[in-house]
Amino acid sequence: MTSPTASVHRVATSIPEPTGGLQRFLHRQAWTTGVAVLMVLLVLWRTSQVPHFGDFEIRTITAGAMSLAFLAMAQALVVISGGIDLSVGAMLVFTNCLSALWMDGKGLGECIGIAVAVVAIAIAMSSLIGVIITVSGVPDIIVTLAASFTISGLALVVLKSPGGGASLDFQKLVAGGLNDYWPSLLWTVGTLALVWLPLRRTRLGLAIYAVGSNRGASFLAGVNVARTRVLAYSLGGLFAGLAGIITTAYTGGGEPRASIGANATLNSVAAVVLGGVALTGGVGGLAGPVMAAVCLSLIPAIMLGRGWDPSYAETWRGVIIIAVVLVGGLVQTRRRAT
């Protein structure tokens, strides 16, 4: 046996080498880059299918993916903070119905006011869900699942059957005319650039990541964990409410079926996972899920273009999600091991 203290005093500890710029970028943004590549490939595939790829086709992609993109942002925020919100889809349906009911027959100005009010209601409801979760200590998944039933029910109370409407000007302002892709593109990219990027740099933005990354360490560091989690749900409510307004503008009416909400929730989780947000929290961003939402909504169109039976679209979505997450996971474990 060696003498007790011999091994201790040898090493002079050297400061670790900083990692280089490109390596660090790949290290941190690998997943987002991968999703961007996948999105570009799918868009190119889609362009190759139609004889003339013009404004109408672009608008179909951008406006068609828009509501799922916003719903994915809502889900991503909550998941990054270490939770999960199974009520985002129901919230989309509810805000869709409420705004369609109120906007029916109104002018542009009134519609904008109604949109703000409806989004505020969504924020208030999601904040309440967040408060219930943090105060009661009941897991997120249970509270939000229960909330999704309640909110789906409310949507049916508001709008008994498909109907309602919105001013055409408002629809054009949000989703663009049939050949105008700019509004949908600008709203989505603008939200990412003007809301998310600045938010990410604030104390709140950092706290959302920190709380999702390690709740205990964040608490010890003096972060107000409960408030941060509630605010993550509030922000989720903001984006879910916007997704509902976008649905009203895109479809020109309200559709209260609960199955739409349930399906939308599952799609939002799929987009979040595909977009590189870890379900364990603390990892990822909003750009990845948005691009993943575009990918997910392109799949049925591409299948239709190939002449394949679009009934298999869901199956292929599943296959793609599993394949991407599997490959991404393998790449990450390999990186850790080295």
Partner 1 sequence: MTTPLLQTRGLARAFGPVIALRSVDLTVAPGQVHALLGANGAGKSTVVKILTGVLRADAGSIAVHGEEVTLSRPADAQARGLAPVFQDPAMAPDLTVVQNLRLTGVDVAEVHRVLADMDLDGLDLTEQVRDVPLPFLRMLDLARALARDPQLLLLDEITAALPPDLSERVFGLMRRWKEQNRSVLFISHRLAEVREHCDMCTVLRDGRDVDSFVPAQGGEAQIVSTMLGEAAAGVREEARGRAREGSRPVVLEARNLAAGRNLRDVSFTVAAGEVLGLVALEGQGQDLLFDVLSGNRHSDSGELVIEGRAVRADHPFDVIRHGVVLVPSDRLQALLPQRSVRENIAAPLFNRVARWGPINGREERRRVHDAVSRLSIDTRAGSQVRRLSGGNQQKVTIARWLAPGLRVMLLFDPTRGIDVGTKHQVYDLIRSLADDGAAILMFTSELREVALVCDRAAVLHNGTIVAELPPDAGESALLRAAHGLETVG
**Contact positions vs partner 1 (CB under 8 A):** 1-2, 4-5, 7-9, 11-13, 15-16, 18-19, 28, 203, 206-207, 209-214, 216-224, 282-283
Question: Closer to partner 1 at the Cβ: 2 or 311?
Answer: 2
Question: Closer to partner 1 at the Cβ: 224 or 315?
Answer: 224
Question: Closer to partner 1 at the Cβ: 52 or 201?
Answer: 201
Instruction: Kindly state the smallest distance separating residue 80's Cβ from partner 1, in Å.
Output: 9
Distance, in Å, from the CA atom of 313 to the CA atom of 302, rounded to the nearest integer, reads 9
Instruction: Kindly state the smallest distance separating residue 195's Cβ from partner 1, in Å.
Output: 19
- DSSP-based helix, strand, coil % in the chain, nearest 5: 75, 0, 25
Distance of CA 59 to the CA centre of its chain: 20
Instruction: Kindly state the smallest distance separating residue 335's Cβ from partner 1, in Å.
Output: 11
Give every CB contact of residue 72 below 8 A, 6+ residues apart in sequence: 267, 268, 271, 272, 275, 286, 289, 290, 292, 293
Distance, in Å, from the CA atom of 246 to the CA atom of 244, rounded to the nearest integer, reads 5
8 Å CB contact between 142 and 81: no
Distance, in Å, from the CA atom of 83 to the CA atom of 139, rounded to the nearest integer, reads 8
Instruction: Kindly state the smallest distance separating residue 88's Cβ from partner 1, in Å.
Output: 23
Residue with tokens 């362009």: 47
Distance, in Å, from the CA atom of 208 to the CA atom of 282, rounded to the nearest integer, reads 8
Question: Closer to partner 1 at the Cβ: 254 or 282?
Answer: 282
Question: Closer to partner 1 at the Cβ: 51 or 222?
Answer: 222
Give every CB contact of residue 90 below 8 A, 6+ residues apart in sequence: 147, 148, 149, 150, 151, 152, 155, 258, 261, 262, 265
Closest CA to 74 of 317, 328, 264: 264
Question: Closer to partner 1 at the Cβ: 137 or 220?
Answer: 220
Instruction: Kindly state the smallest distance separating residue 176's Cβ from partner 1, in Å.
Output: 37
Instruction: Kindly state the smallest distance separating residue 75's Cβ from partner 1, in Å.
Output: 18
Q: How far is CA 54 from CA 50, 59, 138, in A?
A: 9, 9, 50
Instruction: Kindly state the smallest distance separating residue 220's Cβ from partner 1, in Å.
Output: 4
104-136 in b/e form (b: 16+ CB < 10 A) is bebebeebbebbeebbebbbebbbebbbbbbee
8 Å CB contact between 185 and 62: yes
Distance of CA 88 to the CA centre of its chain: 10
Question: Closer to partner 1 at the Cβ: 53 or 219?
Answer: 219
Question: Closer to partner 1 at the Cβ: 203 or 306?
Answer: 203
Instruction: Kindly state the smallest distance separating residue 205's Cβ from partner 1, in Å.
Output: 9
Question: Closer to partner 1 at the Cβ: 5 or 333?
Answer: 5
Instruction: Kindly state the smallest distance separating residue 16's Cβ from partner 1, in Å.
Output: 6
